[in-house]
Copies of this chain bind each other. A is one copy, B any other.
């Protein structure tokens, strides 16, 4: 089973307007909401692939209830831990005129120590059934800054592999606990290491403690720096759209690959195909099944270096 952690779970709300005009009053024609946060999106993709996934993290208040109601509709296993305060929302305003999206992310309510302790106990119990743990997204206020390092160590103690998808200090602090894979995007890679060159930056993250680094570089595809070697995998066509959805689909492919003990070239091919099938979908967590099946046999994966020494 793959356990996905979403400490900052959200209700993702989409508003459709004719056109977004700053300073104007807009009539919202339709609105649509569903459970979100990166870990929830990853579980949704895994569920679509038929891979068993369990969702944990923190939720609270009426928005938390709406998140849980939607997980039930999506038939995702809900092991979220209740907290005080109301879960955050993200509002995405989509313009009918040009399809462009403008996003507003709330930061989420403050998490107190007692809730964090309860969460850690639940996480530890869930590890008994987990082979892979996915730690995705931002940390809400009140959660320790080294939360992903602590959870990575607990997973490691229980014999589970870990995938960390975060940026900034949250990523850097996780590295000390030696996560199996980290998946920064290009901006996170540069921010964390100061290096503009993806290969140099990825090697530097491995030196800081990551087992493998899979850097997602938008339409340029993936660069993986691993103990088994370095690979580049590129989408056969350039597709633009929803970068959040693409990143979460990539993480789902990596987690599924670790669970099935697939070799890196197969994992990367799957990750690029799933990302491309997700980037065209307006809602993160969705994939275009036709594109996925078309791409998963046609993604070029190129080995670029000899295996890197430990």
Contacts and interface: CB of A to CB of B under 8 A. Distances in A.
Contacts of A27: 105, 107
Contacts of A28: 104-107
B25 A105 contact: yes
Contacts of A102: 20-26
A218 to B, nearest CB: 15
Interface string A207-241: 00000000000000000000000000000000000
**Copies, count:** 2
A250 interface: no
Contact of A20 (B22, B62, B65): B22
A60 to B, nearest CB: 12
Contact of A62 (B23, B66, B93): B66
Interface in A92-139: 93, 95, 100-107
Contact of A31 (B17, B66, B106): B106
A101 B21 CA distance: 11
A102 B23 CA distance: 4
A37 to B, nearest CB: 15
A19 to B, nearest CB: 9
A29 interface: yes
A15 interface: yes
A272 interface: no
Contacts of A100: 22-23
Contacts of A25: 102-103, 105
Contacts of A174: none
A63 interface: yes
Contacts of A105: 25-28
25 contacts: A15-B91, A15-B106, A17-B104, A20-B22, A21-B102, A22-B22, A22-B102, A23-B101, A23-B102, A24-B103, A26-B102, A26-B103, A26-B104, A26-B105, A27-B107, A28-B104, A28-B105, A28-B107, A29-B107, A62-B62, A62-B63, A62-B66, A91-B91, A91-B104, A93-B104
Given A26-B104, A29-B107, 8 more contacts: A20-B102, A23-B100, A24-B103, A26-B103, A27-B105, A28-B106, A31-B106, A91-B91
Interface of A: 15, 17, 20-29, 31, 62-63, 65-66, 91, 93, 95, 100-107
